[in-house]
Amino acid sequence: MTRVNDRIRAPKVRVVYGEEGQQLGVMSTREAVEKAKSVGLDLVEIAAKADPPVCRIVDYGKYKYEQSKLKKTSKSKGPAKMKEVKFRVRTEEHDYNIKCARIEKFLDEGNKVRVQLQFRGRENAHREIGFEVMQKVKIDLKGMSHVDMEPKLAGRAVGMILSPLPAEKRVRHFMLSHGELIHEDEARDSEFDDSDDSDEDDHDDDHDNGQDDASNSGEEE
């Protein structure tokens, strides 16, 4: 049963505001309820087992309707699909955030996600850096997923598999502009289109190959 406003029992809660998940931080439940009522909304407990529990400031009537609609949609979709997102050892922060936002989007749609990082050239001598990147992804996405397969080395790549948390427990950290990437980022990250589960990242490979092959020519085994 979903607890709302004064029915929330925890003394302190982590508060998320609105549909876009703006983080307001940890505060007393009483303060959070007052904050929600001050804007004409409700405080709804969405992750009771978290420490502290996560609550969202929303219109409870609208929230119940959307949750009901999500359950019906998830039943009609059938089994989850496997999506794939690829990282590089040298992925810059901006691109890293975009890739994580895409993973969150896939998870929010009920899909599993295979996260892969491939080593190139002299990167193979420092594979621990790749595992550090994967651990960062794992931690940054813990509000949306649990790990089905821990980061594991296979040849020249390390991969892990993420599954979505139950809908009521998901808290997005990385957001896309209006739910989609801006034009420049769409061009850069078009590999994440949903057209094919296994080939989503081909465009990114082509984009990176020119620079990587030029800098690493003669270094590949």
Total domains in the chain come to: 2
| DSSP, res 125 | G
- Contact at 8 Å (CB) between 97 and 174? yes
95 and 196 within one domain: yes
- Domain holding 26, by residue range, is 5-61
% pLDDT > 90, the chain = 40
Of 171, 113, 166, give the one whose Cα is nearest residue 140.
171
48-87 tens-digit pLDDT: 888 899 999 999 888 888 888 777 665 555 566 899 999 9
User: The sheet that has 82-87: what strands, in order across it?
Assistant: 82-87, 112-118, 157-164, 145-154
Report the pLDDT value the prediction gives residue 49, as an integer from 0 to 100.
86
For residues 106, 109, 110, 113, the Cα torsion angle rounded to the nearest 10 degrees is -10
What is the model's pLDDT at position 126? Answer: 75
75 lies in a domain? Answer: no
Q: Could you give the percent of the chain with pLDDT greater than 70? A: 73
At residue 81, the pLDDT reads 82
Residue 136: the pLDDT is 92
Nearest 5°: phi and psi at 161?
-120, 130
Question: Are residues 194 and 100 located together in one domain of the fold?
Answer: yes
Which residue, among 51, 53, 67, has the nearest Cα to 19 in the 3D structure?
A: 67
Domain harbouring 17, CATH code: 3.10.20.80
Number of neighbouring beta carbons within 10 Å of residue 65: 11
**Are 113 and 85 in contact, with CB atoms under 8 Å apart?**
yes
Kindly state whether residues 99 and 29 are assigned to the same domain: no
Same domain membership, residue 109 and residue 50? no
Is the same domain home to 88 and 147? yes
What's the confidence (pLDDT) of residue 85?
Answer: 93
Strand partners of residue 86: 116
Task: Report the CATH number that the domain containing residue 129 is assigned in CATH.
Answer: 3.30.110.10
What is the reported pLDDT for 184? 35
What is the pLDDT at residue 77? 53
Residues of the chain with confidence (pLDDT) below 50: 177-221
Q: Are 156 and 119 in contact (CB under 8 A)?
A: yes
pLDDT of residue 74: 59
At 178 the pLDDT is 43
